[in-house]
């Protein structure tokens, strides 16, 4: 079992990775090269995933990643975030319901971005802007629960 100090060290690392991922998503979008839209979508998901992981380490102290890893699967992390919202008393909030639903969409489309046929143009600028905007909203919601350090 991880100590509280180890959990907070890992959380700090995931917070940094999340900041880097959202910055990379914006750089990919602002490059105005459609070939970068997949990467922007991927980075938007990881900005969200990594901050959800930090939140889990900091707030859900009874949750441990699988014994052979320092992290949870994407689908498990998604369910842990929903648990975190519930425990923070934010699960009934309409905005939280929208954000939880968007986590599902963001994850599903991240899979398409990563594993879809590279010859297809799957995302347009508006879709990527929406993904980044929602990732920022999710990050803002997570920070409202865990605080911004």
User: Could you report the per-residue pLDDT of 76-118, keeping only the tens digit for each?
Assistant: 888 888 888 777 776 566 666 677 788 888 888 888 888 877 6
- Mean pLDDT value across residues 3-14: 92
pLDDT of 11 reads 92
From first CA to last CA, the distance across the chain in angstroms is 24
The DSSP code sequence of 24-74 is: HHHHHHHTT-GGGHHHHHHHHHHHHHHHHHHHHHHH-TT----TT-SS--H
**pTM metric for this prediction:** 0.84
DSSP-derived letter for residue 147 is -
Higher pLDDT, 32 or 131: 131
pLDDT of 120 reads 66
Question: Position of tokens 């990732």?
Answer: 135
């Amino acid at each position: 079992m991880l100590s509280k100090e180890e959990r907070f060290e890992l959380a700090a690392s995931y917070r940094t990775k999340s900041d880097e991922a959202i910055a990379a998503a914006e750089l990919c979008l602002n490059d105005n090269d459609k070939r970068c839209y997949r990467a922007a979508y991927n980075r938007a998901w990881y900005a969200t995933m990594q901050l959800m992981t930090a939140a889990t380490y900091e707030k859900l102290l009874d949750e441990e990643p699988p014994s052979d890893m320092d992290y949870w699967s994407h689908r498990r992390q998604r369910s842990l975030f929903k648990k975190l919202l519930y425990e923070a008393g934010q699960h009934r909030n309409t905005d939280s319901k929208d954000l939880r639903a968007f986590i599902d969409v963001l994850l599903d489309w991240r899979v398409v971005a990563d594993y879809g046929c590279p010859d297809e143009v799957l995302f347009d600028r508006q879709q990527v802007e929406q993904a980044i905007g929602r990732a920022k909203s999710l990050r803002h919601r997570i920070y409202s629960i865990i605080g911004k350090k």
